[in-house]
């Protein structure tokens, strides 16, 4: 990176910090999928509702929220209890589920996989933990993916719904989920219920809005939107806040969606 490029990025700090403050507010919850896990107070309920909300997060936000709410209703508004205690007869509703390419086969496997994972640990956090020396959460995402698809009968089609850096994916949805679970700034949006992962290890989620704004601000140059691009963007954001770079997701997303920047 040249001195000129560094100076440009540093010059954005005041502007982007102001946008973080503007968009990292409880009003942000109203139209965002993160509103689903905010309906719950139990840690495991938040983890499960958040995972489904993030995995289904493509398309119109209103549809994402409606579809995730549908799953929560079928789980009797108690996702953790349902995941660990359901009977085969309780799964009938899920055989009709569909959201874009996420269908009944995927929903049923997610329930089965989560049930097995919670038999071995009380929180999904354990599966994502990486050493403090790791600069990113990448290996944690890999570990979770491998554990999730450790059952002998997993449907191969479902793998596409849980990204991993090993497939060169930018891992937008799982990075968004990790932001929700890990960041804890008392603003009332992200939960911060996982405290064994450093916010500095998180990677910024890149959707179409974040990508467009990041390129316009010259925070992202890589043409392909993959894991390397997500790391590039995050490393540039670390120049603005090394400890909590992913807070700027609020600024980039807000500028893209709310202000059509």
**Regarding beta strands 98-99 and 102-103, do their DSSP bridges make them parallel or antiparallel, or are they unpaired?**
antiparallel
Secondary structure (3-state) at 103: strand
How confident is the model at residue 108, as a pLDDT? 98
**DSSP letter assigned to residue 85:** H
| Paired residues of 103 in beta bridges | 98
Domain extent listing, the chain: 1-30+204-261, 40-202
Can you read off the two tokens belonging to residue 74?
């079928």
Per-residue pLDDT of the chain (261 residues), as tens digits, is 899 998 999 999 999 999 999 999 998 888 899 999 999 999 999 999 999 999 999 888 899 999 999 999 999 999 999 999 999 999 999 999 999 999 999 999 999 999 999 999 999 999 999 999 999 999 999 999 999 999 998 999 999 999 999 999 999 999 999 999 999 998 999 999 999 999 999 999 999 999 999 999 999 999 999 999 999 999 999 999 999 999 999 999 999 988 777
Using an 8 Å Cβ cutoff, are 50 and 68 in contact?
Answer: no
Using an 8 Å Cβ cutoff, are 82 and 75 in contact?
Answer: yes
Q: 186: which residues sit within 8 A by CB, 6+ positions away?
A: none
**DSSP letter assigned to residue 17:** H
Can you read off the two tokens belonging to residue 10?
């540093």
Instruction: Dump the DSSP string for 156-180.
Output: GGGGGGS--GGGT---HHHHHHHHH
Q: Work out whether the CA dihedral 25, 199, 146, 168 comes out positive or negative.
A: positive
Using an 8 Å Cβ cutoff, are 219 and 9 in contact?
Answer: yes
Expressed in angstroms, the distance from the first to the final Cα of the chain is: 25
Instruction: Please give the Cα distance from 202 to 113 (Å, whole number).
Output: 24
Can you read off the two tokens belonging to residue 84?
């660990």
How confident is the model at residue 13, as a pLDDT? 98
Using an 8 Å Cβ cutoff, are 31 and 62 in contact?
Answer: yes
């Amino acid at each position: 990176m040249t001195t000129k490029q560094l100076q440009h990025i540093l010059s954005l700090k005041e502007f982007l910090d102001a946008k973080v403050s503007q968009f990292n507010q409880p009003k942000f919850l109203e139209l965002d999928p993160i509103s689903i896990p905010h309906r719950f107070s139990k840690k495991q309920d938040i983890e499960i509702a958040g995972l489904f909300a993030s995995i289904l997060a493509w398309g119109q936000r209103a549809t994402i929220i409606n579809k995730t709410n549908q799953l929560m209703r079928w789980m009797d508004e108690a996702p953790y209890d349902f995941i660990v205690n359901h009977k085969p007869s309780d799964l009938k509703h899920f055989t009709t589920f569909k959201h874009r390419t996420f269908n009944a086969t995927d929903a049923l496997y997610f329930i089965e996989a989560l049930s097995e994972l919670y038999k071995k640990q009380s929180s999904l956090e354990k599966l994502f933990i990486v050493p403090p020396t790791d600069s990113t959460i990448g290996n944690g995402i890999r570990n979770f993916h491998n554990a999730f698809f450790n059952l002998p009968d997993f449907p191969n089609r479902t793998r596409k719904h849980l990204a991993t850096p090993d497939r060169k994916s930018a891992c937008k949805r799982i990075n968004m989920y990790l932001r929700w679970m890990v960041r804890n700034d008392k603003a009332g949006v992200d939960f911060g219920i996982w405290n064994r992962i450093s916010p500095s290890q998180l990677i910024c989620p890149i959707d179409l809005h974040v990508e467009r704004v990041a390129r316009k601000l010259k925070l992202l140059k890589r043409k392909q939107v993959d894991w390397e691009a997500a790391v590039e963007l995050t490393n540039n954001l670390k120049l603005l806040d090394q400890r909590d770079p992913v807070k700027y997701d609020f600024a980039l997303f807000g500028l893209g969606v709310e202000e059509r920047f």
